[in-house]
Amino acid sequence: MLETMLEALFAGLGLIFQWHVLAYFALGCAIGILMGAIPGLGGAIGLVLLLPFTFSMEPVAAFALLLSSWASTSTSGAITSIMLGIPSTAASQATVLDGYPMAKRGEAARALGAAFTSSAIGGVCGAAALGISLPLILPVILAFESPETFMLGVLGLAMVGSLSGRSILKGVTAAMLGLMLAMVGFPESQAIPRYTFGTLYLLDDLPLIPVLLGLFAIPEIMELAIKNVSIARSGQTADTRRGLLTGVRDALRSWWLVIRCSVIGAYIGMLPGLGASIVGWVTYGHAMQSSKDQSQFGQGDLRGVLAPEAANNALRGGALIPTVTMGIPGSVGTAVLMGALIMLGLRPGPGMLEAELPMTFSFVWMIAIASVIATVVLLWTVEHVAKVALLPGHMVVPGVLLFVYMGAWLGGASVGDWVSCTFFGVLGFFMKRGGWPRPPVILALVLGGILEGSFQISMRVHQGIGWLERPIVLLLILVIVITLFFAARGIARQRLKGRPKAGEASERNPALSLPFSVILFLVFIWAGFSSLEWPPPVRQFPLLIAIPGAVLAFIVTIRDLQDLLAANKAVGAWRVTWKKAAEDASLTEALPFFGYLAAILALTLLVGQKIAMPVFIGVYLLRWGHYRKRFAAAYALAGWAVLVFFYDQVMGMLFHTSWLALWLQSVLPGGAPEWLII
């Protein structure tokens, strides 16, 4: 048996080392690096774009192109997480907690060097772990049924709720908000729309990418605009070459943590539909709870970058296993890969571990090697990427906002996506300024549908709550309790030492937090009462969220009220209290920026994105940034070129049909290049 496995292992490696295969492999790595570095794109978009080109290719070359792109994306995704505080995917949120604070204090090159090195080690170690355990993997996957899936999702929510802020209560309440947002649209049980407000846009669930980019990207962009500061707040950064080498050495010195998180990532990645969402938080929690000194987590601790980045790369190989061996894709990316398997004449299932074992091992090799190649390329370019941290804020804002809005547009090519992105951008601003953690909202939005489906199946199959007595379920409940206990103890210790937690949800502004908690309480009450008119299968999970959500929001409201009364007592006048709260949150400066965002939406309806976004760039640089007209015009022209030649001609996106587009189509002569402006 061992001899057969070794033969298949080296045969799989031999399949890769053919000149034409290596050429496609290099092309896939280049495309994956680009896709991962642009907010909103990600690995799934790259696979969708590349899939049509593989129709006439042989299987090895086709998967060299697809898998190298898919694996490279997770490596380069660290760029936006660290440099801009914008997770490239929901799985990259944990990297933001410590990566972005490092960039703020001028250590972007160190953080990127450590992240890329950790990703390479994670890709190789994850692939090695899978290669060793490949024949034994099916029983492990099959052991996780609906009860285990549900409880593992709850563990992920407990991790993110307890590790992403100074208040576990606010973290869990924010997770409840995310679960409630996941209830929007049609449930799986019956065709009854929930919380859609009569709009067609919300019938197909609330789209993830616009919400993700809105919550994380727009508040960070607003801070750069309002304060006109560089990402490195001091305006200085450590020597990029020295910082890069320091980051690489840090990753190598922490090899045991990186390897542990790689193995965790590989095996959690095998869980269809769940692994990619929670793996970053599970490994972040592992890194934090296994450290003697936890005081710097959330403030720029390098271990908070190493752990999730190693796991994010390792999970690629893990996610491929149920797709290839069981025909169960767990994400859009793996669904595209399974479609490619079938299209190229390979049948997903146990046969891939028998007759097609060399081909299966070649997939593992491809992911490992692609991670290393992407790391080498990115390490070579870090010196230039890190310089972005020194650019003035006004120079960064319009370009990043263009990519953010176009990334949101990829969700469904609907104006509703831009409205959602803007709405959650404003919401994210108030959450950040009010001390509410944002990561729990996104993770709960991702997991909500999975949790509801797993919960209902568990209740029906076991005819009650008997599934809570299953061994793995009990083990996961124990882990959840331990996680919450250690998180609460860590927060209490920091408060006793007078070192309040920095980073995500570290700001204290009860004047902003109180209205938000009151609104949350009312939302949960309204959602619970609204669900009573639906049949039991449809209302069951919304009620399960609304009741504890309302209780938690009420408790937070009382605490915020106490903090606000204490703040008012300290200054002696309500007018002074509210004025100070507004100044701390930069509300006066934020309102004009909200106006710019609203203007983008209105102008898009009139003239379309290809004119609206360049106009915004030019006007912003002239009026807010006070740049020269020539520079503003050149920047706006560059934005127009990106829209026309990249998003339109390369990606083939459908743009909004504006009023101007309808008018021009009726007056332009045939053959006119209307695609240049509409």
Read out DSSP for 34-101?
HHHHSTT-HHHHHHHHHGGGGTTS-HHHHHHHHHHHHHHHHHHTHHHHHHTS--SSGGGHHHHHHHHH
Q: Tell how far CA 501 is from the center of its chain.
A: 23
Task: Give residue 616's pLDDT.
Answer: 93
d(CA 621, CA 493): 46
Task: Give residue 134's pLDDT.
Answer: 62
Among 326-330, 359-363, 619-623, the range of highest mean pLDDT: 619-623
Would you state the structure tokens that stand for residue 642, as one six-digit string?
């990106």
Task: Give residue 633's pLDDT.
Answer: 93
Q: Which residue has the higher pLDDT, 359 or 192?
A: 192
6-15, pLDDT tens digit by residue? 677 677 777 7
Split at pLDDT 50, 70, 90, the class of 519 is: very high
The answer to whether residue 614 scores a pLDDT higher than 90 is: yes
Residue of 384, 302, 346, 288 lying closest to 101 (CA atoms): 302
Neighbours of 631 (CB within 10 A): 14
The answer to whether residue 638 scores a pLDDT higher than 90 is: yes
Q: Which residue has the higher pLDDT, 108 or 555?
A: 555
533-576, pLDDT tens digit by residue? 888 888 888 998 999 999 999 999 999 899 888 888 877 777 88
Task: Give residue 636's pLDDT.
Answer: 93
420-463, pLDDT tens digit by residue? 999 999 999 999 888 888 888 888 888 888 888 888 888 888 87
Task: Give residue 326's pLDDT.
Answer: 66
In sequence order, what are the residues at sequence separation of 6 or more whose Cβ sits closer than 8 angstroms to the Cβ of residue 400? Answer: 39, 84, 86, 217, 221
Rg (C-alpha) for the chain, rounded Å, is 25
In sequence order, what are the residues at sequence separation of 6 or more whose Cβ sits closer than 8 angstroms to the Cβ of residue 399? Answer: 617, 635, 639
- pTM tops 0.95, yes or no: no
The answer to whether residue 597 scores a pLDDT higher than 70 is: yes
d(CA 170, CA 133): 40
- Work out the angle between the directed axes of helices 168-182 and 536-571 (0-180°, nearest 10): 140
Task: Give residue 241's pLDDT.
Answer: 73
Split at pLDDT 50, 70, 90, the class of 524 is: very high
Split at pLDDT 50, 70, 90, the class of 79 is: confident
The answer to whether residue 42 scores a pLDDT higher than 70 is: no
377-425, pLDDT tens digit by residue? 888 877 777 777 777 888 888 988 998 898 888 767 888 899 999 999 9
Task: Give residue 556's pLDDT.
Answer: 92
Residue 188 phi/psi, 5-degree rounding, is: -75, -25
Split at pLDDT 50, 70, 90, the class of 233 is: low
The answer to whether residue 236 scores a pLDDT higher than 60 is: no
Task: Give residue 113's pLDDT.
Answer: 87
Find the helix or strand (DSSP H, E) in which 621 lies.
Answer: none
Task: Give residue 491's pLDDT.
Answer: 67
